[in-house]
A and B are shown apart, each in its own frame.
Chain A
Amino acid sequence: MEYEAVIGLEVHVQIKTESKIFTRCRQGYGYEPNTLVDAVIMGLPGALPVMNKASLDGIIKAGLALNCVIPDYCKWDRKNYFYPDSPNNYQITQYDKPICEGGYVEIELPGENRGVMGEHKKIQLTRIHLENDVGKLNHFSEDSLVDYNRAGSSLMEIVSEPDMHSGEEAFAFLTAIRQTMIYCGISDCDMEKGQMRADANISVRPVGQKELGTKIELKNLNSITGVKNGIDYEIKRQISELKRGKQQVQATWRWNADLGRTELMREKEDAHDYRYFPDPDLMPVEIDDEWRQRLRDEIPELPWDKQRRFMKEYGLPYTITCVLVPDRKLSDWFESAAKQAPKSAQALGNLVANDLLREMGEAGISLDECKITPDSLLTLVRAVEKGVVPKNVANKDVFPEMFKTGETADQVIERKGLKPDFDEGQVRAWCQEAIDENPRPVEDFRSGNDKALNALLGPVMKKSRGKANPQLVQKLIRELLG
């Protein structure tokens, strides 16, 4: 029998704010234990929550970017459960009136090969709601230690419909969310810092069966690749057990990335009884069109739209857009050059995607720290087009200097003496010499073999000690033979 998996994801994303969601204590990562706390975070007697406006802005923006409906009204509820990382032993969350409803995430599945764009799909969302994060438990052999620094951070929970069928789709789903959040400046989504976390609900059923199979909750998916590997492993495990006739029991499993397998955490004990009720300490939120519009206006062009546009408007190959687009700053950097010279966009794209990223990587610096500017990159492309330097020299000698010093291409060419000490007339003379000295290729070319031109190119380059611009040489030879 053939089986298929049905997967839903719950993705937690920390909203980037200065202060926490319900108190004005600092939100951050990497601080000494229990230094980002106050009376509210510690759940001291008498402490009360007050909403952070920026957390609301963040989630509404996220909801708009992910195509959700933002209702006019939402409220806060308490989810009651005891756990040492939860100072009040209730979490402030949204039960029946979330701030974002519905929506979808556009994902891309892998294409036939890396050079080809894959199929795009929409993964439906159920809702996105806002809640406070909990603290962190550090486990030791005898006991555990609690650090409340993370407690009370702004957290949104993105809940998908059971709309995915493979680890690959889940991977693409997370990647798309991550890019959108980073694009909109809502979150850095650094999974190592716990800014993005995912749990999966996975069930398996025979192909053609309508009802879902037994749901397994999979936790501890701490990296994007972990999500893919963990889910794929779990699907295989469930299918092989079903094939052996073993029915699944509703339970929570955990992905062990070190051992590369899933492990049973707990079978569904008595169903959770969270005793949700409206939080009496907090007032509801009412959202009007003006608020929605203000945030919609802050949303930049989103990655898929930008990729499609770059391919269409600038004729960039898919592979180059795959490098540029995921990085909003890099793609904007590229575009501020490309806009000025749309016809040179491909050359610019290559320089940014290959040379610039390579140099940045070697220097270990970010785009903001680069001395080279989009305008100076344009000078390089123009120098090549004008035949001032050949492309290989531009890439190999000029660009790294520009990167190091911030000079324009012309300044580098001048300073390093890369400008050829001959003019077009000299190149034309060398071309004529080469034509005279190599009758065979000339004959071949004239009889229709275009490739024979290359046999003439070599001698000219030799005569110029490699400094002639090959495009110019080709052009001149054609003229002379024309």
Chain B
Amino acid sequence: MSKKTHIDIDYTAKLARIALSDEEKAKYSEQLDSIIGYVEKLEELDTSDVEPTAHPHPVSNVWQEDKVSSELSVQEALKNAPAQRDNMIVVPKVVD
């Protein structure tokens, strides 16, 4: 485990797409540092032969047959939209 004592708060907040004030950055950095310090106690455990658990009760091949059954009207689908036009969601101009 890489010993990183300070979370790169600018990078991580950008990745999470959350704008933070300088005050928030300072506060979160400190709090998260202590939480991360705490969770690093997992390093004590040797897990080299342990399989990871992704699901508490793993099964495989859970699927449905290819039949159309689920839908929402366009009105229902867009009724909570903050901005819409021509039955589409308006977003700021996206360049790429």
Contact = CB atoms under 8 A, between A and B. Distances in A.
A in complex with B: yes
Interface of A: 17-19, 23-26, 32-40, 42, 50-56, 73, 75, 82-84, 137-148, 265-266, 273, 275, 278, 280, 282-286
Contacts of B63: 50-53, 56
Interface residues on B, range: 20 to 34
Contact of B70 (A17, A35, A38, A148): A38
A147 B90 CA distance: 10
B89 A146 contact: yes
Given A33-B86, A278-B54, A283-B61, A139 B93 contact: yes
Interface stretch (B27-35, B39-47, B71-79): B71-79
B91 interface: yes
Contacts, number: 123
B96 A266 contact: yes
B54 to A, nearest CB: 5
B2 to A, nearest CB: 15
B15 A33 contact: no
| 9 closest residue pairs by CB, A with B | A54-B66, A145-B88, A51-B63, A286-B60, A24-B69, A146-B89, A24-B70, A283-B62, A53-B63
Contacts of A40: 70
Nearest to B14: A270
A328 B64 CA distance: 30
B94 interface: yes
Contact of B93 (A26, A53, A144, A147): A144
A26 B71 contact: yes
B68 interface: yes
Contact of A50 (B64, B67, B90): B64
19 contacts: A24-B64, A24-B69, A24-B70, A25-B68, A34-B78, A34-B89, A35-B74, A37-B71, A38-B77, A39-B72, A42-B77, A50-B63, A51-B62, A53-B66, A55-B66, A73-B60, A144-B91, A283-B58, A285-B60
Given A18-B68, A144-B94, A146-B89, A82 B78 contact: no
B9 to A, nearest CB: 15
Interface of B is mostly: loop
B91 A84 contact: yes
Contacts of B94: 83-84, 137, 139, 144
A22 B71 CA distance: 13
Contacts of B87: 32-35
Contacts of A285: 60-61
B82 to A, nearest CB: 12
Contacts of B54: 75, 278, 280
Given A53-B64, A283-B59, A142 B93 contact: yes
Contact of A37 (B67, B69, B74, B91): B74
Contact of B88 (A33, A82, A275): A33
Contact of B65 (A33, A54, A147, A278): A54
B68 A26 contact: yes
